[in-house]
Amino acid sequence: MSSRPPVHRARKRFGQNFLRDPGIISRIVRAIAPRSGQRLVEIGPGQGALTEPLLEAAGALDVIELDRDLIPGLRVQFFNYPEFTVHEGDALKFDFSELKGDGPALRVVGNLPYNISTPLIFHLLAQRGAVADMHFMLQKEVVERLAAEPGGADWGRLSIMAQYHCQVDSLFIVPPEAFIPRPKVDSAIVRLVPHETLPAQAADEALFADIVREAFAQRRKTLRNNLKGRVSAETLEALGIDPARRPQTLTVAEMVSIANHLAGATQ
């Protein structure tokens, strides 16, 4: 059991919307399926709506909270859990690899504010060796981009980079009325599981990331135009890729093939 936290007014600058719906909370926890002995990390616990059931299931939890006014309430609320650890700070700067240490890979969860969701996912992908899986609540449009398929309007840099590193599954929608205050958009739960073996291996992952970024710099332009400083139309054709295609039609494997050609050409 835990004590109730003091009343806290949600802050716009932190993008705070506190989850309140017990049915949604239960469904999220079932999707995560926490177990004793696992290393769970919650980003932005807020007032502990997910924290309590996660702690009850796993017995231990690390939380990362930026809003220092929430931290005393969390420590009071979960004082009787000796394996509850609060890290005050910015998740965008947090060293997840150091937290893992020699222990089991981290299971990362969180209700992420819109303004940090994409950079935080990239931050975690860069430390994917420390991560077993991730379950996030995000704006629905971000989840649609993460889980998109090539050729659609949602397919882009985020889709390719996430799916290069992880299996991505959109789980379910969370309506605005599940929160206080109500956001103006739907949210959704997404699961990201780092691949044990990459389906397509980039020889130089930094170069691959650069090529993806440049390819999507202007979505309406063709690959010939967006990558003209990197690769010729003739080379794209030799790789089996029509230079007149737009970037949103390329698969992860095709992007990797372009990057690998360039990596080989510079060695």
3-state secondary structure 56-91: HHHCCEEEEECCCCCHHHHHHHCCCCCCEEEEECCH
On whether the pTM is more than 0.75, the answer is yes
The pairing of strands 187-194 and 166-174 is: antiparallel
Q: In terms of DSSP H, where are the helices of the chain? A: 22-32, 51-58, 71-77, 96-100, 114-125, 140-146, 157-165, 205-215, 223-226, 233-238, 252-265
Average the pLDDT over each of 12-16, 135-139, 146-150 and give the range with the smallest value: 12-16
Q: What is the pLDDT of residues 63-82, one digit of tens each?
A: 999 989 999 999 999 999 99
Closest CA to 219 of 167, 140, 157: 157
Asked if residue 235 lies in contact with residue 261, where contact means CB atoms within 8 angstroms, the answer is: yes
* Mean pLDDT (the chain, rounded): 91
* Spatial separation of the C-alpha atoms in residues 138 and 202, rounded to whole Å: 28
What confidence category does residue 266 fall into, taking pLDDT thresholds of 50, 70 and 90? low
Annotated binding-site positions for S-adenosyl-L-methionine? 17, 19, 44, 65, 90, 111
Asked if residue 248 lies in contact with residue 153, where contact means CB atoms within 8 angstroms, the answer is: yes
Kindly tell me if the per-residue pLDDT of 59 is higher than 90. Answer: yes
* Spatial separation of the C-alpha atoms in residues 266 and 14, rounded to whole Å: 44
What's the CATH code, domain 12-194?
Answer: 3.40.50.150
53 upstream amide cis, omega within 30 of 0: no
Q: Order the strands of the 187-194 sheet from edge to edge.
A: 84-88, 61-65, 39-43, 106-111, 131-139, 187-194, 166-174
* Spatial separation of the C-alpha atoms in residues 74 and 6, rounded to whole Å: 9
Kindly tell me if the per-residue pLDDT of 10 is higher than 50. Answer: no
Q: Enumerate the domain spans of the chain.
A: 12-194, 205-265
Give the residue-averaged pLDDT of 107-118. Answer: 90
Please return the burial class of 215, using the count of CB atoms within 10 Å of its CB with bins 0-12, 13-18 and 19+: buried
The pairing of strands 18-19 and 179-180 is: antiparallel
Higher pLDDT among residues 163 and 113, named by residue: 163
Annotated binding-site positions? 17, 19, 44, 65, 90, 111
Q: Tell me, yes or no, if the two domains 12-194 and 205-265 fold the same way.
A: no
Average the pLDDT over each of 5-9, 84-88, 105-109, 215-219 and give the range with the smallest value: 5-9
What confidence category does residue 267 fall into, taking pLDDT thresholds of 50, 70 and 90? very low
| Cβ neighbours for 173, distance < 8 A, ≥ 6 positions apart | 140, 186, 187, 188
Q: What is the pLDDT of residues 150-165, one digit of tens each?
A: 999 999 999 999 999 9
What confidence category does residue 178 fall into, taking pLDDT thresholds of 50, 70 and 90? confident
Average the pLDDT over each of 7-16, 136-145, 161-170 and give the range with the smallest value: 7-16
What confidence category does residue 16 fall into, taking pLDDT thresholds of 50, 70 and 90? low
* Spatial separation of the C-alpha atoms in residues 190 and 228, rounded to whole Å: 35
CATH topology of domain 205-265: Helicase, Ruva Protein; domain 3 (1.10.8)
Q: Which two tokens stand for residue 215?
A: 């390819």
pLDDT of residue 14: 43
Kindly tell me if the per-residue pLDDT of 1 is higher than 80. Answer: no
